Amino acid sequence: MFAAVLLIALIGALAYYRAPVLAWTVVLAAWLASLQLGFGYGVPTLLWGGFAVIAAVLNIIPLRRAVFTGPVFGVFRKITPAMSQTEQEAINAGTVWWDRDLFSGKPDYQRLLSFPDPKLSVEEQAFLDGPTEQLCSMIDDWKITHELKDLPPDVWQFIKDQGFLGMIVKKKYGGLEFSNYAHAKVVTKIATRGGTAAVSVMVPNSLGPGELLQHYGTEEQKDYYLPRLAKGVDVPCFALTSPYAGSDAGSIPDYGIVCRGSYTDPRTGEQHENVLGLRVSWEKRWITLAPVATILGLAFKMYDPDHLLGDKEEIGITCALVPTEHVGVCIGRRHYPGGAAFMNGPTWGKDVFIPLEWIIGGREFAGQGWRMLVECLSVGRCISLPAMSVACGKLTTFTTGAYARIRDQFGLPIGKFEGVDEAMARIGGYTYQMEVAQDLALTGLDMGEKPSVLSAVLKYHNTERMRKTLNDAMDVHGGKAVVLGPRNYQGRAYQSIPIGITVEGDNILTRSMIIYGQGAIRCHPFVLREMKAAMANDATEFDLAITGHINFVISNVVRSLWLGLTGARFASSPRSGATARYYKQITRFSSAFALLSDMAMFSLGGSLKFREKLSARLGDMLSNLYIATACLKRFEREGAQKEDLAVLRWAVENALFDLQVAMDGFLANLPSRGLAWLLRKIIFPWGLSLKPASDRIGTKVARAMMEPGGMRERLTRGMYVPPSEDDAVGVLQHALNAILATEPLEQKLRKLARDGRFSSITAKERLEEAVRSGLITQAEFEAVQRARKLKRDVIMVDDFDMALAQHDAGLLQRHIF
């Protein structure tokens, strides 16, 4: 009996700590020997023999290859689905970072906690406090979105002059060369003031000509364009999407044929005769900044049917920079995306001749366009839309928190009703999740990583949380947020939600195909090694990878079972106290996720790619593990403030609960029912044990959002808060402070009324009566009067004269292609 228990304990420990094959051999041999020598059992020679054969096969590599991994290699090569070039390029793009730890089933928290805290340089901080603050103060979003349908000329000029369009451009070209962290914080701050301005700043700094030129441009292209982009002399756009290719951008029908031709360079006026170039035809739509762009980044498929460049006829997707003044470029008309007025429009051209020198990177980069785009996407996707989502979170936390305290119904501030505080807690909790998730990824970017999987996680989860926070903020504000006008600070953002959801990889596609699809191959410690070995026909590398992989699976079975049985109580944690159990739970579910991931690949093989609902749930598991760890990292970074514990708990507990929902859904739908049953028993031996954050925690978060204090301050830090009481957002903080300060006085007035001390009826008259009869001082009278005025300013909405409808109707002239 003791020997059997010892054996189970030894196997458990070997598997739990992922011991190498040799360690297994030595420990099990020692156990057998101890049976014979120590306990006096007679171990049959047959058992020793069997053990020796298995040990030899597993430890002697040539033997292992001959009898075990070699045959597996043959089968693996046959069943591994062929990868298209675009898939390979997507897989190879970017780097893996903290996501690999989460995939490992054994995240290294010391590593997480040792990542440097993202910081702003003195210059970056000055830019945020100076030009960015000033830009925000110049933005009147209602005027922009309703009246001008554009940024006013002085705002455009300010953006260009101050270098906002060149935040990513290197200093030697006249750009600001900001860190990714600073870049994101600038976008966030502007976006808390208005989406149109934020998008106009964000796009040239995101995936587009600037980014592509810096990475791949020829020296001549960099020297010419980058200083012009940095100062807004040139305004770029990047055109990939066509009416026929949106999500499936690799299938664009736009093409360029290699030929000889003549052209006049619009930049110099020089005429060039009989040069080697391309005859390009394209039809693109939804291109941001296209209507005002001076250079058009254009993606098309390049063909060389006459072999003017070489043997290859289909050269592949190519990116070129075309001055928009070039003969044949049609550009300048506008689309009108909902809720925003940033420039966006179509562009088209037929048989437009461009020289080969206009290809980004020159001739050498012909056909490299897809690789260039996916490589750069991982950076931009971590910054722009996630930063805009954070901005929505901050703005809604700031406004809804204050509004819910200022607005009262049934004799109470609405935020004190549980139904409302539930919605408010989601706003605060998701805002925390969005910011911490982005900050951790920015840390990675500034360490030189290009975490492509995490960029997809951020794109999807931040924009989805933006959608949820805005929905909740709309609900809490009621009619105040429905009626549009200058006093409505979130109606436009609400209308614009689908833009963030759709662009840079639509969310349905990102969740169901990209996050796990890329993650499974990129972050898994062995799968990519195995696939590369299969493609390179490298049996030695395959042998090492597959043995490690089997060990990995055994380990995750044992770890998941043990951590499930014990509720991860004995798992290690880098911190004691309130957060320790979260670290332990993350370890538990990281092992479970790694196991489910392997079992999904094992049972579904290549068809997993098409089981998008399962793939999406695996992606949700990875994403929520990431978000939970990012919360813990941030909590530590902020000095583990007790005040923030409620929001941390809300954020981590709900992330882990969402992860459990994904695991439950996955197990309920895995086609191999027997396997699903077994996995459920291993991972959830006592059933589904996690609960979402409690109502009590939610109420704490909501209450902290309604009062000036550390948590409200930290959640909204970095947003633009207009100082003026005349501003719809600015007045909220003034009103909140005034109402909190005069609350005892209002109570006193209510009591006096109850005691029958007033002869007048209305609140206004009673206030005047109170000061007249000396029940309150003149200063108290003025304070209450001011608070009531500010409150009225907050709750009122706009009304317009009848000309409003006519104004909108006549604004745009429709054009049909």
Binders of ligand FAD among residues 120 to 159 (CB under 6 A) are: none
Stretch that binds ligand FAD, among 286-294, 370-378, 383-391, 585-593 (CB under 6 A): 286-294
Smallest separation (angstroms) from ligand FAD to the CB of 517? 10
Q: What residues pair up with 302 in beta bridges, in sequence order?
A: 256, 316
Q: Which is nearer to ligand FAD, 105 or 195 (CB)?
A: 195
**211, 449, 464, 504: which one is catalytic?**
504
Helices 730-754 and 763-772, packing angle to 10 deg = 70
Smallest separation (angstroms) from ligand FAD to the CB of 99? 21
Pick one of 287, 315, 329, 440: the residue that binds ligand FAD (CB under 6 A): 287
Binders of ligand FAD among residues 592 to 631 (CB under 6 A) are: 612
Pick one of 162, 344, 573, 660: the residue that binds ligand FAD (CB under 6 A): 344
Smallest separation (angstroms) from ligand FAD to the CB of 286? 4
- String marking each residue 481-520 x if it binds ligand FAD according to CB under 6 A: ------------------x--xx--x-xx--xx-------
Task: Kindly state the tokens that stand for 364.
Answer: 């050498």
Cβ-closest position to ligand FAD: 246
Q: Which is nearer to ligand FAD, 152 or 246 (CB)?
A: 246
The SS3 assignment for 407 reads coil
Residues 777/771, Cβ–Cβ less than 8 Å: yes
Q: Which is nearer to ligand FAD, 512 or 629 (CB)?
A: 512
Q: Which is nearer to ligand FAD, 506 or 769 (CB)?
A: 506
Binders of ligand FAD among residues 247 to 276 (CB under 6 A) are: 247
DSSP states of 516-538 as a string?
HHHHHHHTSTTHHHHHHHHHTT-
Pick one of 145, 221, 288, 629: the residue that binds ligand FAD (CB under 6 A): 288
Single out the residue of 178, 294, 319 nearest to residue 228, CA to CA. Answer: 294
Indicate the DSSP class of residue 707: S
Smallest separation (angstroms) from ligand FAD to the CB of 498? 8
Smallest separation (angstroms) from ligand FAD to the CB of 240? 3
Q: Return the CA Rg of the chain.
A: 31
What does the alpha-carbon distance between residue 416 and residue 418 come to, in Å, rounded to a whole number?
6
Indicate the DSSP class of residue 69: I
Handedness of CA 518, 522, 527, 531 (dihedral sign): positive
Contacts (Cβ under 8 Å, ≥6 apart) of 187: 198, 201, 202, 205, 383, 384, 387, 388, 391
Judged by CB under 6 A, the number of residues near ligand FAD is: 20
Pick one of 246, 328, 413, 665: the residue that binds ligand FAD (CB under 6 A): 246
Smallest separation (angstroms) from ligand FAD to the CB of 456? 12
Binders of ligand FAD among residues 202 to 241 (CB under 6 A) are: 238-241
Q: Which is nearer to ligand FAD, 253 or 710 (CB)?
A: 253
- Which residue reads 């088209």 in tokens? 348
Look up residue 359 and give its amino acid. Answer: I
What does the alpha-carbon distance between residue 127 and residue 652 come to, in Å, rounded to a whole number?
33
Q: How far apart are the first and last CA of the chain?
A: 82
CA angle 662, 664, 665 (to 5 degrees): 65
Q: Which is nearer to ligand FAD, 209 or 393 (CB)?
A: 209
Q: Which is nearer to ligand FAD, 132 or 241 (CB)?
A: 241
Strand spans (E) along 217-313:
236-239, 255-264, 271-288, 295-303
Q: Which is nearer to ligand FAD, 407 or 465 (CB)?
A: 465
Count Cβ atoms within 10 A of the Cβ of residue 203 and give its class: 0-12 exposed, 13-18 middle, 19 or more buried: buried
Smallest separation (angstroms) from ligand FAD to the CB of 86? 13
Query: What is the maximal distance between C-alpha atoms in the chain?
Result: 108
Residue 422 catalytic?
Answer: no
What does the alpha-carbon distance between residue 624 and residue 661 come to, in Å, rounded to a whole number?
11
Smallest separation (angstroms) from ligand FAD to the CB of 575? 39
Q: Which is nearer to ligand FAD, 394 or 511 (CB)?
A: 511
What does the alpha-carbon distance between residue 356 and residue 206 come to, in Å, rounded to a whole number?
25
Smallest separation (angstroms) from ligand FAD to the CB of 379? 16
Smallest separation (angstroms) from ligand FAD to the CB of 337? 4
Single out the residue of 92, 19, 741, 702 nearest to residue 424, CA to CA. Answer: 702
Q: What is the separation of C-alpha 612 from the centre of its chain, rounded to a whole number of angstroms?
A: 20
DSSP states of 201-225 as a string?
HHHHHSTTHHHHHHHH--HHHHHHH
643 binds ligand FAD (CB under 6 A): no
Pick one of 24, 216, 282, 286: the residue that binds ligand FAD (CB under 6 A): 286
φ/ψ region of 463 (left if φ > 0, alpha if ψ in -120 to 50, else beta) reads alpha
Q: Which is nearer to ligand FAD, 513 or 670 (CB)?
A: 513
Q: Which is nearer to ligand FAD, 136 or 287 (CB)?
A: 287
Stretch that binds ligand FAD, among 284-292, 518-526, 735-743, 767-775 (CB under 6 A): 284-292
Look up residue 347 and give its amino acid. Answer: T
3-state class percentages of the chain: helix first, strand second, coil last, to nearest 5: 65, 10, 25
Smallest separation (angstroms) from ligand FAD to the CB of 239? 5
Task: Kindly state the tokens that stand for 295.
Answer: 């250079």
Give residues in contact with ligand FAD (CB under 6 A). Answer: 238-241, 246-247, 286-288, 337, 344, 499, 502-503, 506, 508-509, 512-513, 612
| Residue numbers annotated as active site | 504
